[in-house]
A and B are shown apart, each in its own frame.
Chain A
């Protein structure tokens, strides 16, 4: 509609600022993933593949396309970054039967993705033993440099931990308007990633579930914009 939009003063924010966890420079992506440039590694959490069909089996007929959408988004990320490694931080499959319910097309798409990079499935509580059928390596956790990647965050201090599990999101009120977005929650010693899955909901970072993980207000919520990510100080956030 507006063909020549002026240069915005906040254009500089479009260069994604790096999140530092124990000295490791991580780029938070608006897609809800983390890119670790030094290791050429992509990190995603809580894909919850086949969540739609899990609900359908219980009589709630959600459209069964969540797996396809999630895989397409992953595919786009892999094409963009060509990572040497991808870590899926657990709860990649919504339940133990997810593998059996997955359509043939989605299954072969997923198998194709895992062959494009060194793919690591971290075991989650929904998927303690992800199937070997799709390729990739299954691990409880993986340590790289100063960082440890696992599914469920441990009580603070849990230095260098990159985890998922809680599906963090954050809400902030600006000039009277409330904005609620998925976010990466981090205090610089650890980070909790948002859910990447198309049907995964969010849990506000001010919920009691985070109290032992990120105590006090010394953390930031890296909130997902449409194209960029914005670090918001915890004291500015609102609960749900």
Chain B
């Protein structure tokens, strides 16, 4: 199975768009990415949890919680920085809290917010069960009408993982790579 390296996703009531560095349609046609595996119910276990923990979705929710609690301040464009004011990356706090105090009230609030407002695992489970064995791969020569709303929203939710690492390697200066390999 080839990792498609997802860049992001967006969903509506009846459609789901995932965009990837690799051509998912081509991978599926060649059997390198069995769609049945892609929508396997097994994903709703530890994989999902570890993915969620690293996701933008949760980090963003944590930042909102941290702002509401007064831990960090929201920055506005053009706002002057005062000497006492501190801008602090909420991601750094998120990582340190997860490591040392996974039960912290801010993390619990984050999971609660994410679970109630953004993720409905039970519905995902239902959907995965429902579509099992009923996935048809159809490559279209134009955008299907039902896909238009999600295509308009493309770029909304980004996935930072393997795709970012692959993109970073694309920026590598090949000359220095070659030069250092010879020595």
Contact = CB atoms under 8 A, between A and B. Distances in A.
B92 A174 contact: no
Given A63-B104, A65-B100, A179 B176 contact: no
- Across the A-B interface, give the 7 residue pairs with the lowest CB-CB distance, nearest first: A65-B100, A17-B180, A174-B167, A233-B173, A230-B172, A172-B171, A231-B176
Contacts, number: 110
B96 A231 contact: no
Interface of A: 1-6, 8, 10, 13, 17-20, 25, 52, 55, 58, 60-63, 65-66, 68-69, 172, 174-175, 177, 179, 181, 198-199, 201, 220, 223, 225-228, 230-233, 236
B130 interface: no
Contacts of B168: 172, 174, 179, 181, 223, 225, 230
Contacts of B99: 65, 69
Contacts of B43: 1
Interface string B79-114: 000001010110011011101110010000000000
Contacts of A233: 173, 176
B15 interface: no
Given A13-B177, A174-B167, A4 B71 contact: no
Contacts of B84: 58
B71 to A, nearest CB: 6
Nearest to B70: A61
